[in-house]
């Protein structure tokens, strides 16, 4: 998964892995940043050779893109700012809060297939963002109550 540090540099485990892969094969790594919803399309249309950024492998995506073997099992967190003082005792309480996350993430499937049918949350209420940076900015600014984030982002933010 990729995200930008405070100084605007791209970083993340995907970048480290792919950089090492390219170095070991004496390939030049040339990165073009895409919004999440354009990244897979760029590969499918031939505008990019490879996409990497914590991409979940789904049956729908496998129809148009070839995937490597998984190198990371995805885990995620639902977080809020400490000053929001949000405590969830059960999933029924989710409807009281705004939830956001970056477009294209697997959380849509979780909400649509698990939370929505049980009445816990509606996908139509979710705020979608281009990247984690915008998601976290809205969370910090109080424009969002809760955010789904993946484990590497969670641990990075704990620093």
Q: Tell me, what DSSP letter sits at residue 129?
A: E
Distances (CA, A) of 141 to 19, 144, 146, 152, 153: 34, 8, 12, 22, 18
Band of pLDDT at residue 99, cut at 50, 70 and 90? very high
Domain spans, the chain: 3-62, 76-158
For range 60-83, the mean pLDDT: 86
Q: What is the CATH number of domain 3-62?
A: 3.40.190.10
Range 140-154 burial, b when 16+ CB lie within 10 A, else e: eeeebbbbbbbbbbe
Question: What is the number of other CB atoms lying within 10 angstroms of the CB of residue 7?
Answer: 6
**In this structure, how many other beta carbons lie within 10 angstroms of the beta carbon of residue 63?**
8
pLDDT in tens, 43-53: 889 999 998 87
The structure tokens listed for 49 are 């050779």
101-113 pLDDT tens trace: 988 777 778 888 8
Which residues have a Cβ under 8 Å from the Cβ of 34 and sit 6 or more positions away? Answer: 42, 48, 51
Residue the block writes with tokens 């705004």:
98
- 131-156 pLDDT, tens digit each: 888 999 999 999 999 999 888 778 77
Q: Are 3-62 and 76-158 in the same CATH fold? A: yes
Question: Is 76-158 assigned to CATH 3.90.1480.20?
Answer: no
Prediction pTM value: 0.67
């Amino acid at each position: 998964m990729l995200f930008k540090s405070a100084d605007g540099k791209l970083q993340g485990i995907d970048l480290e892995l792919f950089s090492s892969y390219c170095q070991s094969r004496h390939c030049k790594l040339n990165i073009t940043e895409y919004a999440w919803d354009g990244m897979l399309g760029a590969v499918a249309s031939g505008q990019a050779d490879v996409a990497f950024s914590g991409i979940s492998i789904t049956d729908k995506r496998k129809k148009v893109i070839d995937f490597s073997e998984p190198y990371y099992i995805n885990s995620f967190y639902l977080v809020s700012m400490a000053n929001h003082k949000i405590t969830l005792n059960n999933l029924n309480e989710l409807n009281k809060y705004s939830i956001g996350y970056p477009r294209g993430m697997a959380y849509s499937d979780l909400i649509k297939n698990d939370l929505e049918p049980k009445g816990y949350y509606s996908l139509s209420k979710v705020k979608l963002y281009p990247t984690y940076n915008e998601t976290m900015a809205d969370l910090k600014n109080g424009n969002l109550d809760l955010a789904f984030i993946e484990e590497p982002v969670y641990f990075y933010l704990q620093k």
